[in-house]
Amino acid sequence: MSIHIDAKKDDIAKKVIISGDPLRIKYMAEKYLSDYKLINSIRGMLGFTGFYKGERITLMSHGMGIPSIGIYTYELFNDYDVDYILRLGTAGSYDKNYSVNDLALVLESFSYSNYALKLDGYNKNIIRSNEKMNEKIEEIAKKKGIILKEARVYTTDNFYTKEDITDEMRDEKKCSLVEMESFALFNNARFFNKKAACILTVSDSFITKDILKAHDLERKLDEMIELGLDSLILL
């Protein structure tokens, strides 16, 4: 067991899919896994390990924001010796070329967060995801006929802000999307020399003001989930 995950070491697979919402993880386990079992419920962060197309997979929730995903992915890499972590999440769009329901593969994350600096002195604001994982995800997306857009994202610490930074992020920082977690995930993977990637569904747009309602998010992300699962089992 780790501090925040109540599972034995062999209860967690080497390949893990993470998502912020525990109910989304529960939905994924019930719909896609066979012979699965609950391996964590501390603080309501549900985790399940089972089989997808014969491959052992763990699904784990991570909550919202850099501190939360930082804790869970650190312990998965460090205490459970996980090799691959794939985040499936949602994002807002700063760019007219990314509409609600679009799928995006995160190549880079930009952040003003000091998470990496405090982790091990890494002082860069941009971190890349794993190229090997990205190549496999894009390969499977192509086979499935899924349109998958590459993106640099802004990982923010603040969900609510008074200033509109759409133009700054899109034009100056070249960030098409905004979310709250991938910067910590990618830095934990770098720190432990492990592999991490992230696929996002665009849930709202700062340009068109369209939004996918929270109630719909739980069960309208099947295309992203299936892409993630089918990619992960081939790594």
Q: Which residues contact 5 (CB under 8 A, 6 or more apart)?
A: 12, 40, 42, 45, 47, 60, 72, 75, 76, 79, 80
Q: Rounded to an integer, what distance in angstroms lies between the CA atom of residue 73 and that of residue 175?
A: 24
Q: Rounded to a whole number, what is the largest CA-CA distance in the chain?
A: 49
Catalytic machinery residues: 204
CA angle (134, 138, 143) in 5-degree steps: 150
Q: Rounded to an integer, what distance in angstroms lies between the CA atom of residue 24 and that of residue 18?
A: 10
The answer to whether 122 touches 187, Cβ cutoff 8 Å, is yes
Residue-wise burial string across 31-68, b where 16 or more C-beta atoms lie within 10 A, e elsewhere: ebbeebeebbeeeebbbbbbebeeebbbbbbbbebbeb
The answer to whether 48 touches 36, Cβ cutoff 8 Å, is yes
